[in-house]
Amino acid sequence: MKKLIKYYKPYVFSIIGIFVFLFIQTMTDLALPDYMSKIVDSGIVAGDNHFILITGLQMLGISLLGAACSILVGFLSARLAAYSSMHMRNDIFRKVESFSNAEFDQYSTASLITRSTNDIQQIQMFVVMFFRMVLSAPIMGIGGIIRAVSKSASMTWIIALAVVVILGMMLILYSVTMPKFKKVQKMVDRLNLIMRERLEGLLVTRAFIAEEHEEQRFDTANRDLTKLNLFVNRAMVLMMPVMMLVMNCISVLIVWVGSHAIGAGNMQVGDMMAFIQYTMQIVMSFLMVSMIFIMAPRAAVAANRVAEVLDTEPVIKDPKQSKPFLPEKKGVVEFKNVTFRYPGADEDVLLDISFTANPGETTAIIGSTGSGKSTLINLIPRFYDVTQGEIMVDGIDVRQVRQHDLREKIGYVPQKGILLSGTIASNLRYGREDADDSLLEKSARIAQATEFIDTKPEGYETPISQGGTNVSGGQKQRLSIARALVKEAEIYIFDDSFSALDFKTDASLRAALKKELGDATVIIVAQRISTIKNAEKILVLDEGRLVGMGTHQELMQNCDIYKEIALSQLSKEELA
């Protein structure tokens, strides 16, 4: 929790107000038994109705004051917890946005969702309980002891006995529940992970008739979490009846000891009643603390999990002093002896790659599955940083410029087309909010997307569901390509973005790109020879090494790997 204190510093005046109102509320609670003692010992014994009325009205006023303070404490503590949690969630979201792929490999998506929702909720509940209950517990406990001793010093051993019993119970409960709370949050992560996989892979599950297997897998995780929650909740529930038993036993003991003191003339009935109430207040103060002790372990685990994300430093950072791009090298992408190894891996994925992609040209990358094609292009926008060597964009090492400035120059289309909930227009404007309708239409036309957009009654305002599930794979890819084109970038990267398109659409799209993109640098990763056949430069990768570079005709003559790939897809006549 210490790492998260900064979220509560802006609300110091609210915290001071909580302290003040809690103090007044607790003082009113401590004052009432004394007034009750006066009514019993003075008013009733003397038969003074006027004294009873005046004292009763004073008690009513004190009670109303205490109730008002209690309401204000509840309001301020709830407000403080809600707003601090809001800022915490914002910071986690911003932190996650700054993560590179290396950090995403460290945390699962399900875990990040749990940490930003369930974990912060646990912290918020703890903060509310802390300010509403724990802060008043020491005041009530100490004040109750002082008042109780003033009524009867000879019976203070009863209070000591009650405190020892309660502390013993709290320590036992804490030692039992703390390890379980750590497991609970991990099990929530696992349940969210299974649920996410189940929903995302629903079609695959149905295709392989694996519903029963997935149900059993989810049921196992669900039962494990339920069993652990039941254990923890039973331990918490057991606390209350035991505490009530202790309180009732203490009350009986006070009455028994007090009755002998009253019989001996050493104590008055009102004082004994006040002593019982003060003792109950002392016990209640420890009960409040025990409730927090029950919540604290889970909140502490949640706080550590949240702090773990907030303290994670992204591997990829902006330089302290960004260098300006060189205008004379606008759009030029250079790889200089680039070697890359994934964090924690034992072997290099790319080894000593060097090439230059020039403006106005199409640079294509081809190779077998696992040869490092996608990894190579992911280094350009700095999704990962090179292990050795340099990647230059506009004549400057990509590590010497701000990530925002670098990515502003790039129109990127990932291998898997991803659309966001909204409309077709909002998705196309995702990288450029000020894009006008004519630019949207032009980009959609180049991407061969107008043929299905124009058939929809709402056109560009057609709703897109989360993940683009209401459009086909080919339509999703074309919209992803159009979204990149709307940026009117200097450099376009297409990571196997034409795989879901039929040959006719693929050919039309490539022809439109060649005609419309002008001086832009185009880098294409593809599996089809037909897609890259007319590229000005083709790179051939094999197990992370650049084994061939040149035009289609040149590679057919001097690169056996390229020739093998080409002949496996097209006939010699088609390749001519």
Task: Give me the percent of the chain exceeding a pLDDT of 90.
Answer: 11
d(CA 284, CA 247): 9
Bridge partners, residue 549, by sequence: 539
- Token pair, residue 343, equals 């964090």
What value does the mean pLDDT take over residues 354-362?
91
> Per mean pLDDT, which range of 228-242, 536-550, 551-565 is the poorest?
228-242
**How many Å is the Cα radius of gyration of the chain?**
36
SS3 519: coil
What value does the mean pLDDT take over residues 283-291?
74
What value does the mean pLDDT take over residues 496-516?
81
What value does the mean pLDDT take over residues 284-310?
78
CA distances, 388 to each of 99, 295, 340, 541 (Å)? 21, 49, 7, 18
pLDDT digits (tens, 9 = 90+) for 52-102: 788 778 888 888 998 898 889 888 888 888 898 899 999 888 888 888 777
Helix axes 49-98, 12-38, angle to 10 degrees: 160
Residue 227's pLDDT is what? Answer: 85
Buried-state track 506-523, b at ≥16 Cβ within 10 A, e below 16: bbbbbeebeeebeebbbb
Sheet-wide strand order for 350-357 = 350-357, 333-340, 388-393, 396-397
Question: Is 203's pLDDT higher than 70?
Answer: no
What value does the mean pLDDT take over residues 474-503?
85
Name the region of 320 (left: φ>0; alpha: ψ -120 to 50; beta: rest): alpha
pLDDT digits (tens, 9 = 90+) for 143-179: 777 777 777 777 777 778 877 887 787 777 777 776 7
Please name which of 305, 387, 359, 350 lies closest in space to residue 544, comparing C-alpha atoms: 350
d(CA 95, CA 313): 9
8-state DSSP, 400: G
Query: Whole-number mean pLDDT of the chain?
Result: 82
Question: Is 568's pLDDT higher than 80?
Answer: yes
> Do the beta carbons of residue 330 and residue 490 sit within 8 Å?
yes
Residue 392's pLDDT is what? Answer: 93
Domains and CATH numbers, the chain: 2-311 (1.20.1560.10), 341-409+489-576 (3.40.50.300), 416-488 (3.40.50.300)
Confidence of residue 471 (pLDDT cuts 50, 70, 90): confident
pLDDT digits (tens, 9 = 90+) for 12-58: 888 888 888 888 888 887 777 777 777 666 655 556 677 778 877 88
CA distances, 78 to each of 46, 86, 127, 552 (Å)? 47, 12, 8, 68
pTM: 0.71
SS3 470: coil
Residue 294's pLDDT is what? Answer: 67
